[in-house]
Amino acid sequence: MRTIGIDFGTKRVGLAVSDEGGTFAFARKIIPNTKNLVSLVIVEAKGAGSTTIVIGESRNFKGEPNTIFPLAAAFGKELEKSGFTVRFEPEYLSSRQAESIQGKTDKLDASAAAIILQSYLDKQHGRKTD
């Protein structure tokens, strides 16, 4: 079963998808954060055959929810209402990590989503994550 990963942003949302075995995460695409966001993500998730969506849990360095967290949480609730299982995965500096790997490109948010998703998948398989 594939899993969808999301790097939620106020302007853009990065999407990633796992392989069928839930072992590896791959950057998929970036979609604009508009009023149609929930429907667009549902189409992507159903197209991938996914019932689980992992959203980056956005917090500050003190571990407190930052300004984007309530928006991402509300987005997650909307996806749950549509029948998806939603999980949150800490996303400290995922965009910076993606940038350090690939540079500043137009796929940065999708790559950050893949980093978030890979962290979640590794934990599910009992692999050490640092």
User: In CATH, which superfamily holds the domain spanning 3-124?
Assistant: YqgF/RNase H-like domain (3.30.420.140)
pLDDT in tens, 56-85: 988 777 877 788 899 999 999 999 999 999
For the chain, the domains span 3-124
- Provide the whole-model pTM: 0.86
CB 54 within 8 A of CB 117: yes
- Picking from 81, 78, 104, the residue whose alpha carbon sits closest to that of residue 8 is 78
The pLDDT score that the predictor gives to residue 61 is: 75
The pLDDT tens digits of the residues spanning 3-47 come to: 999 999 999 999 999 999 999 999 999 999 999 999 999 999 999
